[in-house]
Amino acid sequence: MNTRRYGNTGKSVSEIGFGAWQLGNRQDWEAMEDTAAISLVHEALDRGLNFFDTAPNYGQGRSEELLGTALAGRRSGAVINTKFGHRADGSIDYAADQIRGSVEQSLIRLQTDYVDSVILHNPPFNVLDGKYGHYDVMEKLKAEGKILAYGVSVDSVPEMLEVIQHTNIGVMEVMFNIFYQETAEAFKLAQDKGIAIIVKVPLDSGWLSGKYNSKSTFAGVRSRWSPEIIEKRAALLEQIKFITNKETTMTMAALRFILAYPEVTTVIPGVRNSTQLIENIAASDAVMPEEQVKRLQELWAKEIKGQELGW
């Protein structure tokens, strides 16, 4: 597994991370047994993956709890990123005076005395510049050793620029994938400030895993796509089949496209079983040919940018 520097924390992380939204999440996914979740985290560590992304609201707190149980005795080999803003009970509160309590509850669930980073979980735009004291609280937690770094999770270039230009954050989680390349415009600016970039939604909510087509139907969290959007997405998949071959699945290629950007620190696909884990990790075994990267960038610029595809 290749590693990349995690901002200014002094740590290195696996370039393929572990998106832990699924752990303990019985609302949006078919339930995963706790023992299976813990075993999956152990397997990830054994295979060289050390970066885990979670949040208080993932599985109503169960994601953090299961990670904590799985990492007991192996905490030093893991880098954990959690979030603030979405509570375990499903409510949302971005008030700065709630940060400390949220972080301390996360520490209890994770069975640790520190987390490597905490980020504001897609907060309102007017919170991003720090004028309400959010980063002041984070600085105090950092001084106390409860967190090593802090930052934000955002989805757009304007949000990225607001944070890059007005704050001293160390970590930024952004949406970026073959079908959503807008945020790459601000990657270099973030890197120049020493900000670690975590890429979320790398498989475009499953579309870039290669398992969906124009006939696919969706339930739960993914029922948001209209028939028109499903048709658009399926047509785009046909156009990018050139990135796959006998040795390279769509998932592997989609992750390699993201890792072709040196500014990216780690990418966090979701993981539900050993097969998915092995496939994700295999993306680190090779790099995407430059010609393919350029073709995908051109496809985005000419045919995808500006389309309404929903995330």
* Number of neighbours of residue 5 by Cβ within 10 angstroms: 13
Q: Where are the alpha helices (DSSP H) in the chain?
A: 34-46, 62-71, 99-110, 134-143, 157-166, 187-192, 227-239, 250-259, 274-282, 290-299
Q: Output the pLDDT for position 28.
A: 53
Token pair, residue 242, equals 């050139």
229 in a domain, yes or no? Answer: no
Q: Output the pLDDT for position 221.
A: 61
Q: Output the pLDDT for position 30.
A: 60
pTM of the model: 0.93
Active site residues: 58
66 in a domain, yes or no? Answer: yes
- Give residue-wise pLDDT tens across range 23-41: 766 555 566 788 888 999 9
Query: Across the 311 residues of the chain, what is the mean pLDDT of every consecutive 10-residue run?
Result: 93 95 65 84 96 90 92 95 91 94 96 97 95 97 97 96 96 96 96 96 87 70 73 87 94 97 96 92 96 96 82 66
How far does the chain reach from its first CA to its final CA, in angstroms?
A: 29
179 in a domain, yes or no? Answer: yes
Residue ranges making up the domain that contains 268: 3-211+250-288
CB distance 167 to 135 below 8 Å: yes
User: Taking Cα atoms as reference points, which of 98, 105, 46 lies closest to residue 277?
Assistant: 46
Tally of structural domains, the chain: 1
Token pair, residue 210, equals 């290669």
**CATH for 168:** 3.20.20.100
Helix, coil or strand: residue 144: coil
Q: What is the dihedral of CA 144, 146, 148, 151, to 10 degrees?
A: -110
Determine whether 247 is exposed, middle or buried from the number of CB atoms within 10 Å of its CB (0-12, 13-18, 19+). exposed
